[in-house]
Chains A and B, each alone.
Chain A
Amino acid sequence: MAKYLLLKHYRGAPAAVNDVPMEHWTPEEISAHVQYMNDFAARLQETGEFVDAQALAPGGTFVRYDGEGRPPVTDGPFAETKDLVAGWMVIDVEGYERAVELAGELSAAPGAGGKPIHEWLELRPFLGTPPTITE
């Protein structure tokens, strides 16, 4: 088994095929999209492949250590940040092929006009536990 992160970007991914911003969809199209995402997660729960899913607020703060006895420095949010993560889903699947298959399904979520968004999702493998037998 292998864990993968399905990463959804607000910004930073190549443009989707059906690239209409959500605020220009009809309410029904938004509902259909949300329903599709929920059904997808429910189906993965049913197969025992679902680990976690979270959505992130877009506004983030950068924080860094500023030396002994001083409070951390904060900066941002930066409106011009090129890469902005919207959320993720963690799956635990048999292998890479299955992960690609599922990412493809998720990318087919309906958007404007009820048509698939064809959104680019980033698929990242987790670094796993080393096997015992290596030689």
Chain B
Amino acid sequence: MTTSRGSMRSLTSWKTVFRQYRIHKDQRRWQTTLDVSAVSKSAPLLDITPPPAPSVKTHRHIKAFPPRPSTWKRCKDPIAAVMASQMTLLDPTGARKRLFHRSNPESAKVGDILLVRQKNGEPFSGVCMNIRRRGVDTGILLRNQLTRVGVEMWYKIFSPNVSGIEVVQRKAKRARRAKLYYMRKPKHDMGSVENIVRVYSRQRAMLGTAGAKKDAQSYIRQKKKVQKKGKGKKN
């Protein structure tokens, strides 16, 4: 049987009993000074955490950064800006743009026979079936027959590889479709346009030299006029 500690305590050792009691008493006193909440949380009695800070509200200055500069305000339409910059780079004179612009009454239209001269490779001619207007990505679809096989080529008109586009023959009547895909059908197929292009290139070769001479003459005449004007002003 187990007996309580008190009964087992020998009566002769009162001194030790009192000593134990004194230690216990000290602890008790300590417990009363402890924070009640800390004790209730079954924390170790000798907690060395610092006491909670006094709840006096001090205004700490938090550094606030200004909002980042708005890219939208700086450039409202970046894609248009890039397109414009590319256009000035690829088509500095604007001649190519004018050749396919809607506002130009003399522009190349679907149904016309066009000749595309390239930097590397032979020129390709064909009936323009479609003009896909997309800014710098504008392309034209040409159809021709080579060795009795129909061939269609898409060319980007602002491509650096395309050195020149010429209108060989205009369509007699304006096409009433934007896309002449019906020309793929045998009934509407124009066949080869080589003969028309050959005649055109021969005529152009003849006129080209004469035109160049005329240009040179007119240039000289203009120069003379300018000189005369200059002289007049001096006098």
- Determine if chain A interacts with chain B: no
B interface residue numbers (CB < 8 A to A): none
Q: List A residues at the B interface (Cβ < 8 Å).
A: none
